[in-house]
């Protein structure tokens, strides 16, 4: 994962004041719950007493209760009651759970994964206009798959795979009819046109001023009949958001890293513009979005997963792909991700002079500057003690143990993973990430000549 960023970890509606929600995200075991004011609390999910899973606990007033011995922990992580010792017992200050900076925005819950800063110094959550200015009705669901999030992102950021991966299941008729079917034939020619759509035309990538958001515009259609094409705009914002939009539909995916081997896919479908004049009731339009969410979860996503599960290496990075010009969006994502990892490592080592990074970033960062290109982690410093530095709002975040993936940048790129104790798998090579048009001797002129 890339440090010093907000990561979406759950859908807002999935966290209530009735029961805590235990999750694993960013290589950490976390528990989410709401205090009496409705504010979201994010804490370490293990009771410090005997390691019980607080996700199985209960809500008790303005505290979470451990399911094992009834210990209570308040929103600041402090233990306020140990029933076996009585209400008047003196509770040591060390009996506490770590607390993580958390925010709620855009219908999601976000956790800060980065260096320890006062709450007032934490940056805003990155959200492009496609999210901030979107007032359409939508529904959101989530599921997880044993795939690294970089491969998931790569899959959604290009659409020329759809003709080959999504051609067989009968439920794909919705895409056939509404995207590729013609009004003249009532959409019944959709599958025929869908199978002919093998070429990407008029593609280009733009970058926002902050350098953290890219937009990939292209037409997907027939090679011999480019006029019969679907225009797409795919927007990516770091660390893990992909928004896909056409005239017919719009979806947003957030690929939240669980660990090096698993990803939580938070998927949102917006109301269909063509149905709004017909379905005037908002609940009906949301129901159609819900239906499309589940079609993605149970039909199209499993088709993508079948491919991703067999990809090697399992973590994408510099030099592991041989991109062609239409992969320019993914090439930019990989190259920028490598740069962000390198910059984070430099901050950790004090090169830039930024604040100290937590121990939990070591997994990714050890791979970010592997100058030898061996794919082996750089030598780690002695493991630091866990710490819970005080925050301005009275909460704290512990220094997490290493867990993550990484890919390098510059003259030598590495990509791989390291588990929480520093003993992990790693693969990599020394190739720098070239621009898409430079790969395999391609150029835009040659690509045009071949088309």
Q: Do residues 116 and 397 lie in contact, with contact meaning Cβ atoms separated by under 8 Å?
A: yes
**Three-state secondary structure call for residue 304:** helix
d(CA 330, CA 154): 6
Instruction: For residue 388, give the nearest of 102, 99, 112, 121 by alpha carbon.
Output: 99
DSSP 328-343: HHHHHHHHHHHHHHHH
How many alpha carbons fall within 13 Å on the CB side of residue 99? 25
Instruction: For residue 376, give the nearest of 414, 332, 324, 340 by alpha carbon.
Output: 414
| pLDDT, tens digit (0-9, with 9 covering 90-100), for 205-243 | 999 998 999 999 999 877 777 677 789 999 999 999 999
Is 116 found in the same domain as 20?
Answer: yes
Is 301 found in the same domain as 152?
Answer: yes
d(CA 264, CA 150): 12
Is 340 found in the same domain as 303?
Answer: no
Neighbours of 351 (CB within 10 A): 10
Report strand pairing: 5-11 vs 108-113.
antiparallel
Q: Does 449 reside within a domain?
A: no
| pLDDT, tens digit (0-9, with 9 covering 90-100), for 374-383 | 333 333 323 3
H-run or E-run covering 41: strand 40-44
Total domain count, the chain = 3
Q: Do residues 400 and 330 lie in contact, with contact meaning Cβ atoms separated by under 8 Å?
A: no
| Residue range 1-19: mean pLDDT, rounded | 96
Is 102 found in the same domain as 195?
Answer: no
- Burial letters 171-205, b for 16+ CB under 10 A, else e: ebebbbbbbbbeeeeebeebbebbebbebbbebeb
| Residue range 363-392: mean pLDDT, rounded | 34
Is 270 found in the same domain as 329?
Answer: no
Please say if the pLDDT value at position 418 is more than 90: no
Q: Does 142 reside within a domain?
A: no
d(CA 300, CA 279): 25
The last residue of one of the domains, among 275, 308, 341, is 308
Q: Which of 269-278, 327-336, 402-411 is predicted most confidently?
A: 327-336
Q: Does 383 reside within a domain?
A: yes
Helices (H) and strands (E) in the chain, counts: 10, 20
| pLDDT, tens digit (0-9, with 9 covering 90-100), for 92-129 | 999 999 999 999 999 999 999 998 888 899 999 999 99
Neighbours of 91 (CB within 10 A): 15
What is the pLDDT at residue 127? 92
Is 156 found in the same domain as 103?
Answer: no
What is the pLDDT at residue 197? 67
DSSP at 54: G
> Given 3-state DSSP classes, what are the helix, strand and coil percentages for the chain, each rounded to the nearest 5?
25, 30, 45
Is 392 found in the same domain as 332?
Answer: yes
Q: Does 319 reside within a domain?
A: no
Q: List beta partners, residue 10.
A: 109
Q: Does 167 reside within a domain?
A: yes
Is 364 found in the same domain as 224?
Answer: no
| Residue range 139-168: mean pLDDT, rounded | 90
| Residue range 88-95: mean pLDDT, rounded | 94
Q: Does 337 reside within a domain?
A: yes
Q: Does 447 reside within a domain?
A: no
Range of the domain at 213: 129-135+148-258+266-308
Report the chain's mean pLDDT, rounded to a whole number.
78
Q: Percentage of the chain with pLDDT > 90?
A: 55
Structure token pair of residue 354:
């930024």
Q: Do residues 367 and 407 lie in contact, with contact meaning Cβ atoms separated by under 8 Å?
A: yes
Neighbours of 395 (CB within 10 A): 20
CATH of the domain at 89: 2.102.10.10
Q: Do residues 307 and 155 lie in contact, with contact meaning Cβ atoms separated by under 8 Å?
A: yes
The last residue of one of the domains, among 308, 342, 375, is 308
Backbone angles phi, psi at 434, to 5 degrees: -85, 165
What is the pLDDT at residue 443? 35
Is 214 found in the same domain as 289?
Answer: yes
Q: Does 446 reside within a domain?
A: no
Q: List beta partners, residue 111.
A: 7, 102
Please say if the pLDDT value at position 344 is more than 80: yes
| pLDDT, tens digit (0-9, with 9 covering 90-100), for 165-197 | 876 765 655 565 555 555 555 555 555 566 666
Regarding predicted confidence, which is higher, 230 or 33?
33
| Residue range 328-333: mean pLDDT, rounded | 95
| pLDDT, tens digit (0-9, with 9 covering 90-100), for 44-86 | 999 999 999 999 999 999 999 999 999 999 999 999 999 999 9
Q: List beta partners, residue 109.
A: 10, 104
Is 340 found in the same domain as 247?
Answer: no
What is the pLDDT at residue 227? 74
Is 297 found in the same domain as 428?
Answer: no
d(CA 217, CA 201): 9
Q: How confident is the model at residue 257 (pLDDT cuts 50, 70, 90)?
A: very high
Instruction: For residue 238, give the nearest of 164, 169, 336, 324 by alpha carbon.
Output: 336
Of 209-218, 345-354, 429-438, give the lowest mean pLDDT range. 429-438
Q: Which of 325-339, 355-369, 375-389 is predicted most confidently?
A: 325-339
Please say if the pLDDT value at position 358 is more than 50: no
Is 298 found in the same domain as 207?
Answer: yes
| Residue range 283-299: mean pLDDT, rounded | 92
What is the pLDDT at residue 321? 87
d(CA 132, CA 108): 13
d(CA 105, CA 127): 10
d(CA 4, CA 7): 10
């Amino acid at each position: 994962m890339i440090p010093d960023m907000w990561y979406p970890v759950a859908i807002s509606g999935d966290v209530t004041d009735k029961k805590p929600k235990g999750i694993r995200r960013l290589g950490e075991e976390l528990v989410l719950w709401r205090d009496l004011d409705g504010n979201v609390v994010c804490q370490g999910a293990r009771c410090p007493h005997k390691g019980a899973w607080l996700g199985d606990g209960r809500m008790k007033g303005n505290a979470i209760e451990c399911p094992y011995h009834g210990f209570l922990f308040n929103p600041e992580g402090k233990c306020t009651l140990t029933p076996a010792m009585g209400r008047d017992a003196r509770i040591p200050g060390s009996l506490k759970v770590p607390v993580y900076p958390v925010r709620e925005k855009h219908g999601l819950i976000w956790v800060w994964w980065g260096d320890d800063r006062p709450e007032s110094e934490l940056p805003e959550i990155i959200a492009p206009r496609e999210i901030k200015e979107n007032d359409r009705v939508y529904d959101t669901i989530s599921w997880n798959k044993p795939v690294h999030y970089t491969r998931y992102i790569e899959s959604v950021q290009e659409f020329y795979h759809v003709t080959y991966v999504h051609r067989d299941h009968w439920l794909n008729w919705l895409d056939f009819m509404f995207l590729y079917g013609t009004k003249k034939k009532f959409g019944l020619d959709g599958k025929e046109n869908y199978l002919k759509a093998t070429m990407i035309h008029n593609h280009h990538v733009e970058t926002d001023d902050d350098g953290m958001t890219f937009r990939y515009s292209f037409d997907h259609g027939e090679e011999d009949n480019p006029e019969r094409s679907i225009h797409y705009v795919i927007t990516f914002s770091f660390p893990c958001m992909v928004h896909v939009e056409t005239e017919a539909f719009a979806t947003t995916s957030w690929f939240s890293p669980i660990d090096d081997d698993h990803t939580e896919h938070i998927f949102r479908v917006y109301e269909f513009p063509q149905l709004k004049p017909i379905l005037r009731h908002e609940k009906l339009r949301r129901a159609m979005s819900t239906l499309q969410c589940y079609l993605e979860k149970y039909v199209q996503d499993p088709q993508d997963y079948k491919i991703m599960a067999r990809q090697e290496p399992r973590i994408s990075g510099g030099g592991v792909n041989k991109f062609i010009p239409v992969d320019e969006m993914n090439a930019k994502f990989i190259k920028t991700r490598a740069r962000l990892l390198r910059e984070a490592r430099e901050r950790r080592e004090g090169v830039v002079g930024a604040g100290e990074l937590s121990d939990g970033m070591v997994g990714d960062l050890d791979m970010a500057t592997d100058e030898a290109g061996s794919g082996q982690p750089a030598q780690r410093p002695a493991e630091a003690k866990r710490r819970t530095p005080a925050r301005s709002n009275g909460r704290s975040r512990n220094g997490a143990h290493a867990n993550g993936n990484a890919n390098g940048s510059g003259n030598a790129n590495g990509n791989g993973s390291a588990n929480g104790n520093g003993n992990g798998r790693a693969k990599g090579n020394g190739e720098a990430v070239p621009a898409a048009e430079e790969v395999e001797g391609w150029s835009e002129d040659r690509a045009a000549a071949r088309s």
